[in-house]
Amino acid sequence: MHVGALSALLMALQDAPVSPAPATVSSSDSIWLWIALGVGVLALVAALLLAKVVLAGDTGTPEMRVISNAIREGAEAFLARQYKTIGVLAVVLAVVVFFGYYISPRTQPYALKTVIAFLVGAVCSGLAGFTGMYVSIRANIRTASAARSSLNGALQMALRGGAVTGLVVVALSLIGVGVLFLGFGGLTDPVGVPYQLVGFGFGASLVALFAQLGGGIYTKAADVGADLVGKVEAGIPEDDPRNPAVIADLVGDNVGDCAGRGADIFESTAAENVGAMILGAALYPVFGIKGILFPLIVHAINLIASIVGVAVVKTNDTEDPMAALNRGFYVTAGIALLGFAGAVKMMLSGPEVAWGWLVGCGVVGLATAFLFVWITQYYTESKYRPVKSIAEASLTGPATNIISGLAVGMETPAMPVIVIAAALLLSYYFGTQALAGFPGVSDYAKGIYGTAIATMGMLSCAAYILAMDTFGPITDNAGGIVEMSEQPDSVRDRTDKLDSAGNTTKALTKGYAIGSASLAAFLLFSAYLEEVRSIVADKVAHAGAAGVMPAGWSFTNINLAEIPVFAGALLGAMLVFLFSSLAIKAVGRTAQMVVKDVRDQFKENPGIMAGTSKPDYARCVSIVTGAALKEMVLPGVLAVGLPVAVGLIFRNFSSVYSAGTGGPVPTINGIPVNLGGASAVAGLLMVGTIAGILMAMLMNNGGGAWDNAKKWIESGQYGGKKSEAHKAAVVGDTVGDPFKDTAGPSLHVLIKLLATITLVLAPLFL
């Protein structure tokens, strides 16, 4: 960002002029950056050691290895083709961003840095997803083998495999942002550099969207196809080796839940780091460089706490595995909270700072994470009313099951929205109280920084949460390997317990992800408004005497009564629904291809059902791979293209349509600065985020409730497996599959992508 823009931004936050940033940062302050980078490197070393422990585990019987190898080959083949496709799209977009920045004299000096940050973010996100999946597809057979001896051994094997993903994701986000900050000259220009890092979040968002979308289409198309023909038509069990789609289904668990969710959480931490550093730069006169580096230290604490949390998890053959996983979460959260409070005291305290209020912001964020976990458990676990009501509705057929499930899904956003609203209000208030001793800083700046601290608090357990999430597909695959290799019932009982816990952890992580996305998106929205305001100030300043900047003018009031804003808001809400429709249709079309192939194989080879010959698993895997990669492109391009199109189209509207605040506006040569494009994008971003949050909650929790209603019936309720209620529940679960594993998780990423792409391209909208 231009020096003039930075000065204008700082002036907006203070009533009096501020001293310029020092040329260099003292070694006592810069040490925090080195500490954060050091912990990030140590976390990667810890992940490597955990991977070695997992890979050293027993690989079971030859029959088990045959199945595991098929899963591994399918997952690696899909991911290689997917990342090749994403890579091409990323390079094209990098070229567009470069020339978009280069053609403007104001942004020309930052064109190369923005593209470098974008590509580094994309590469780190892809590397995080690939590394985590590399271990998870090898941990599944080792978990299955460990289950032959004890539940505890299998639990620890699966969680350690998941912890590799969690540690790598958070560590790469921390190291990527830290190294770019250092490389771009952050120790000599600590205020200006954070704005040059927005490309990192954009690159992470782009990869996360396509990874989650492509993986989600793959996993649910294979799952739906396998269930419809296997369970409903042929009446064979889940993971039955006679089902040609069963290997594709198990592959999908990895590419959707491991690689996809890893990219999702990576993007959340990257966006939160960059957004919080931008707000820290705006408050540089208050906290100095410590306020900018604080987010990196929080994630360093996150890594340490998560390593300890994973290490303490153990169980026995009679305990519910979920209880052991929860204990690890409580330990992680406790350590993270203590570390967070210590970091606030050392980095954000001062004679005029009531740092206890800032600790309170972190507590609000951590409490929000706990509440989201609890709410998700309530709506998705079979011991509570929502799931039981869907199961009971299955007694009268698929129609009532779907009606009940959809009603539960529509109910689910209520409590989370109240929690998000309370978290934003409380953290905003706490922020104003913490900085009450600085009358020269606006209450808005104080409050927004409080919400940033709350976002950091919520993400302070991200590595452990992601470890629990990856635990889910590992145990799911382990159960499939055990069943397909015809292991004893005692082994299957153990993997069933782990699989049940894994289903819960996957649902919890989705709730956690949408909660963190909500706070991170608001943080980035605030950063976007400040970016636009500073760009306008810079334009006016460069106009010299011809430019007039009204005292106290800001871009924080977006007027929905203005035509461009209202139109942009409508388009933002529409994007959420159209994107969801395209994602679900993609699952449906791909699933139809799977269904046709499974039916064809049953007809072509009657020996499959008789158990005398094996199905062609590879054929089904190939069909799903090609279709999923093709189907992910259109919704992904729509998500990237619409906000850009809105900003560029509406920038040509006369300022008559948009004054920005409804009051005095900046002028150049007596003509109001045209804010049509920036205002329209703000409306799109604001309403698109709200609609996306609500839809994601509906789909995630509604789909999870449908799934566990089916599993509850399979446990023996209402006639158990093969009963009429079970058949109805399978249909409901099939409807919920693309909700909870494709469209819903992709919306987490969509709302953050909208925020990062608008932040990066804000200079083009004016």
Q: Which two tokens stand for residue 483?
A: 């069943």
Are 485 and 519 in contact by the 8 Å Cβ rule? The answer is no
Residue 636, domain member (yes or no) = yes
3-state secondary structure of 148: coil
- Give the C-alpha separation, 255 to 126, whole Å: 12
Residue 220: inside a domain: yes
Under DSSP, is residue 547 helix (H, G, I), strand (E, B) or coil? strand
Closest to 676 in 3D by CA, of 687, 668, 684: 684
Q: Is residue 25 part of a domain?
A: no
Angle (CA) 518-217-115 rounded to 5° is 60
pLDDT-based confidence at residue 1 (cuts at 50, 70, 90): very low
- pLDDT tens-digit profile of 119-148? 999 898 888 878 877 888 888 889 999 988
How far, CA to CA in Å, does 336 sit from each of 105, 107, 303, 501? Answer: 45, 39, 9, 24
Average pLDDT across the chain, whole number:
83
Are 295 and 280 a contacting pair, CB within 8 Å? yes
What sign does the dihedral 12-14-19-20 (CA atoms) show? negative
> Residue 24 falls within a domain, yes or no?
no
The alpha carbon of residue 564 and the mean position of all alpha carbons in its chain are separated, in whole angstroms, by: 30
The pLDDT of residue 25? 63
Q: Report pLDDT for 18.
A: 34
**pLDDT of the residue at 654:** 52
3-state SS, one letter per residue, for 606-622: CHHHHCCCCCCHHHHHH
Q: Report if residue 141 sits inside a domain.
A: yes
How many CA atoms lie within 13 Å of 74's alpha carbon, on the beta-carbon side?
33
**Cα torsion through 302, 305, 307, 312, rounded to 10:** -150
- The total number of structural domains that make up the chain: 1
Angstrom distance (rounded) from CA 374 to CA 379:
9
Predicted confidence band of residue 226 (pLDDT cuts 50, 70, 90): confident
Adjacent-strand bridge partners of 353: 350
**pTM for the structure as a whole:** 0.83
What SS3 class is residue 671?
Answer: strand
Element (H, E) at 598: helix 563-604
Q: How far apart are CA 285 and CA 298, in angstroms?
A: 21
Q: Residues 266-281: pLDDT tens digits?
A: 877 887 788 888 888 8
pLDDT in tens, 520-543: 777 778 778 877 877 787 778 777
Residue 401: the pLDDT is 93
User: In terms of residue numbers, what domain contains 475?
Assistant: 3-18+38-534+549-765
Q: In what order do the strands lie in the sheet with 667-668?
A: 547-548, 667-668, 671-672
Q: What angle do CA 307, 749, 112 make, to 5 degrees?
A: 90
Q: Is residue 486 predicted with pLDDT exceeding 90? A: no
* pLDDT confidence band for 45 (50 / 70 / 90): very high
Select, from the ranges 169-183, 465-479, 639-653, 712-726, the one with the highest average predicted confidence (pLDDT): 169-183
Alpha-carbon distance of 43 to 305, in angstroms, equals: 11
Closest-CA residue to 456 (of 502, 520, 400, 388): 520
Q: State pLDDT tens for residues 639-674.
A: 888 888 898 888 776 544 444 444 577 777 877 777
Tokens found for residue 505: 């952890």
Coil vs helix vs strand at 244: coil
The DSSP secondary-structure symbol of 16 reads S
- Is the separation of the CB atoms in 729 and 710 below 8 Å? yes
Classify residue 369: in a domain, yes or no: yes
What is the predicted pLDDT for the residue at 640?
A: 82
Residue 183 forms part of a structural domain: yes
Report helix angle 744-761 to 62-102, nearest 10.
30
Residues ≥6 apart with Cβ < 8 Å to 607: 613
Per-residue pLDDT at 163: 92
Higher pLDDT, 560 or 435: 435
**pLDDT surpassing 60 at residue 6:** no
75 is a domain residue:
yes
Q: How many helices (H) and strands (E) does the chain have?
A: 25, 3
In angstroms, the CA 519 to CA 515 distance is 7
Half-sphere exposure of 657 (CA within 13 A, CB side): 18
* Percentage with pLDDT > 70 across the chain: 94
Spatial separation of the C-alpha atoms in residues 155 and 93, rounded to whole Å: 42
Classified as helix, coil or strand, 353 is strand
DSSP 8-class letter at 23 = S
Strands 547-548 and 667-668: antiparallel
Q: Which residue has the higher pLDDT, 179 or 757?
A: 179
**Is residue 353 predicted with pLDDT exceeding 60?**
yes
Cβ within 8 Å of residue 630, ≥6 positions away: none
Could you tell me the two tokens for 371?
């509440």
Secondary structure (H, E, C), 387-438? HHHHHHHHHHCHHHHHHHHHHHHHHCCHHHHHHHHHHHHHHHHHHHHHCCCC
Mean pLDDT for the stretch of residues 559-583: 89
- Write out the DSSP string of 468-496: HHHHHHHHHHHHHHHHHTT--HHHHHHHH
Q: What confidence tier does 23 reach under pLDDT thresholds 50, 70, 90? A: very low
Q: How far apart are CA 703 and CA 715, in angstroms?
A: 19
Task: Give, for 655, the enclosing helix (H) or strand (E).
Answer: none
Place of tokens 């350690």: 160
